[in-house]
């Protein structure tokens, strides 16, 4: 199928490029059809939020990087959508922080796991926990949704995940892990359950965290612990709702709605 040329002058160029990445992932068998719907939901929230990284997202991203740098076993959990959007960036963030990358899917098939692992490796992710890892099952999630790697999520103390289903986020939390979740929808169960909620677009958030990892990587353990301690997720979520409310209010005042 012919690729669509998006002119750089298009007012929503970046959003359309991101959309094309997800569609390309779908054609490669990386993203499931449900992932296209999930992406549309994210786009709607991003549109309302003005397609930018707000302060509350920057603070959440900073706390996440501090955790990635200080946790004993940090893991970045990658699903189809996250791989399609940010494969190269996930590799860079993992390299800068020493995090393990694990492919972990809601709609799991071994074929998709293999395709995503290949795609990540083609995009420079050096090491990925994959289909050959020693498996464990998360209790409370029927298989194959609950399959994780023993040397990855199973034994991690900190997990960064993106665009995750609420059930699985809750199950990972029940295992006693600290969870940071990238999710543009602050109403979602994942957003409400995570210890750190990054209400930001996944590719934008990952690029921000790469920049932060370069600076925070030079900080002392004590400074990083302070960043973790001072982060307040309830305040971050409240701030995201305030922005949504005020942007809708402003549109209403201007007579846009
Ligand atoms: O690849 P799999 O098999 O693991 O399946 C992945 C999907 C995304 C299909 C699965 O995890 C799913 O159904 O997720 P949900 O429950 O639809 O949740 C996805 C959340 O991510 C929603 O709250 C969206 O608003 C949000 N979202 C979508 N696109 C983005 C996003 N958040 C940040 N950046 C995005 N680009």
Number of domains in the chain: 1
Look at residue 27 and tell me if it is in a domain: no
Residue nearest to atom 31 of ligand 1 (CA): 42
Q: pLDDT tens digits for 138-181?
A: 988 887 899 999 999 999 999 999 999 999 999 999 999 999 99
Whole-model pTM?
A: 0.95
Question: Percent of the chain, pLDDT > 70?
Answer: 98
- The rounded Å distance from CA 79 to ligand 1 centre is 9
Q: What is the pLDDT of residues 116-138, one digit of tens each?
A: 999 999 999 988 997 789 999 99
- Domain housing 191: 55-241
- Kindly report the CATH number assigned to the domain that includes residue 63: 3.40.50.12640
Q: Which long-range contacts (CB under 8 A, 24 or more apart) does 116-120 make?
A: 116/30, 116/78, 116/80, 116/83, 119/25, 119/28, 119/30, 119/83, 119/84, 119/87, 120/78, 120/83, 120/87, 120/90, 120/91
Residue 252: inside a domain: no
201 in a structural domain: yes
31 part of a folded domain? no
Residue 36 lies in a domain: no
Ligand 1 neighbourhood includes 163 CB (under 6 angstroms): yes
Question: pLDDT category, 200, cuts 50, 70, 90?
Answer: very high
User: Could you identify the atom of ligand 1 that is nearest to the CA of residue 85?
Assistant: 36
The rounded distance, in Å, linking the Cα atoms of 161 and 182 is 6
Atom nearest to 83 CA in ligand 1:
1
> For the segment 15-69, what is each residue's pLDDT rounded down to a tens digit?
888 999 999 999 999 999 999 999 999 999 999 999 999 999 999 999 999 999 9
């Amino acid at each position: 199928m012919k690729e669509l040329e998006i002119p750089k002058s298009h007012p929503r160029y970046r959003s359309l490029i991101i959309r094309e990445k997800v569609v390309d992932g779908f054609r490669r068998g990386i993203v499931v059809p449900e992932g296209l719907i999930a992406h549309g939901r994210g786009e709607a929230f991003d549109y309302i939020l003005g397609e930018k990284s707000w302060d509350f997202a920057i603070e959440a991203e900073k706390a996440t990087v501090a955790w990635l740098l200080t946790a004993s076993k940090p893991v970045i959990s990658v699903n189809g959508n996250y791989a399609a959007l940010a494969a190269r960036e996930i590799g860079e963030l993992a390299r800068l922080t020493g995090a393990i990358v694990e492919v972990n899917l809601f709609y799991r098939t071994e074929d998709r796991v293999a395709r995503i692992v290949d795609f990540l490796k083609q995009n420079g992710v050096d090491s990925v926990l994959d289909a050959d890892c020693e498996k464990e099952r998360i209790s409370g999630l029927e298989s194959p949704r609950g399959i994780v790697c023993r040397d990855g999520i199973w034994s991690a103390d900190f997990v960064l995940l993106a665009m995750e289903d609420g059930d699985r986020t809750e199950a990972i939390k029940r295992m006693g892990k600290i969870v940071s979740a990238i999710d543009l929808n602050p109403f979602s169960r994942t957003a409400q359950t995570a210890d750190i909620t990054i209400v930001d677009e996944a590719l934008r958030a990952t690029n921000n965290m790469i920049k932060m990892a370069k600076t925070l990587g030079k900080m002392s353990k004590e400074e990083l612990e302070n960043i973790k301690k001072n982060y307040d997720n309830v305040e971050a979520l409240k701030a995201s709702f305030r922005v949504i409310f005020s942007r809708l209010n402003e549109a209403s005042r201007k007579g846009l709605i």
